[in-house]
Amino acid sequence: MIDCPGVKKQVIRRHYNVSTLFYRLLWGRHIHHGYWVTGDESPALAQDQLTDALADAAGVAEGASLIDVGCGMGGSSRRLAKLRGCDATGVTISSFQKRWATMAAWREGLSGKTRFLCADAESVDFPAGSVDLVWSVECTEHLFDKPAFFRRAAGWVRPGGTMAICAWLAGPDLTEEQRKLVYEVCEGMFCPSLGTSDDYQQWMTDAGLEMVSHDDWTRRVDRTWEICIERINRYAMHRAARLVDRGQLIFLDRFQAILDAYRTGAMQYGCFVARKPSAD
Residue 249: per-residue pLDDT: 57
Residues 209 and 275: their CA atoms lie apart, in Å, by 5
Q: Where are the domains of the chain?
A: 2-275
Report how far apart the first and last C-alpha atoms of the chain are (Å, whole number): 35
Best CA proximity match to 22, nearest among 225, 203, 252: 252
The answer to whether 254 touches 185, Cβ cutoff 8 Å, is yes
pTM strictly above 0.85: yes
Residue 168: per-residue pLDDT: 97
Instruction: Locate the DSSP E strands across the chain.
Output: 2-3, 65-69, 87-92, 114-118, 131-137, 157-170, 193-194, 210-216, 267-275
Residue 259: per-residue pLDDT: 93
Mean pLDDT by 10 residues, the chain (280 residues): 91 83 69 90 94 97 97 95 98 94 96 97 96 97 97 98 98 96 92 97 98 97 90 63 54 83 97 91
Residue 129: per-residue pLDDT: 96
The answer to whether 107 touches 67, Cβ cutoff 8 Å, is no
Residues 267 and 185: their CA atoms lie apart, in Å, by 9
CATH topology of domain 2-275: Rossmann fold (3.40.50)
